Amino acid sequence: MRLTTKGRYAVTAMLDLALHAQRGPVSLADISKRQGISLSYLEQLFAKLRQNALVSSVRGPGGGYKLSREASELFVAQIVDAVNESIDATSCGGAGNCNQGDVCLTHYLWCDLSDQIHTFLSGISLQSLVDRHDVQQAALRQEERQAGNMTSVEPDPRMISASN
């Protein structure tokens, strides 16, 4: 099955946004830090997510992104589709030229699997992921890690010597 990092990162970023939505708009820089996804890559993904009306941007101080509707109304398949990612289990990319230019024996089996995966992802809302205990635990660890990184900054040696 082909689901590249583009689709995975888009779902991860949208889930992060849903997890932090109650705090107001979420900056891409914060998502980048928590999820380890480059800021420039997130900007590209969010441009597509915004074009597909899955997120909206808020400008100005304290700005960022927010979900365009409730997390219970946004589904994983919509996110994957929005970033032009296909869920394809065929070896030919769905072209039907898998066996020397013709359809191979198992082409339709893999097409059916691709459809089943898309249907499965169409039934998973962001809210159902937010509500999962394992997702909440992972988010908590990320928050603690990020808070730990902020508080564990090494003191400036010049300040130590200046106070002595």
- For a pLDDT cut of 70, what percent of the chain falls above it? 90
pTM above 0.85, yes or no: no
Segments making up each domain of the chain, as ranges: 5-87+125-143
| Residues 117-141: tens digit of each pLDDT | 999 999 999 999 999 999 999 999 9
SS3 for 45? helix
Residue 136 sits at the vertex; the CA angle it makes with 65 and 25, to the nearest 5 degrees, is 15
- Note whether 73 and 125 are within 8 A (CB): yes
List the chain residues with pLDDT less than 70. 1-2, 150-164
Q: What would be the CATH architecture of the domain defined by 5-87+125-143?
A: Orthogonal Bundle (1.10)
Q: For 3-132, where are the alpha helices, taking DSSP H only? A: 5-19, 28-35, 39-51, 76-82, 107-122, 126-130
pLDDT at residue number 2:
64
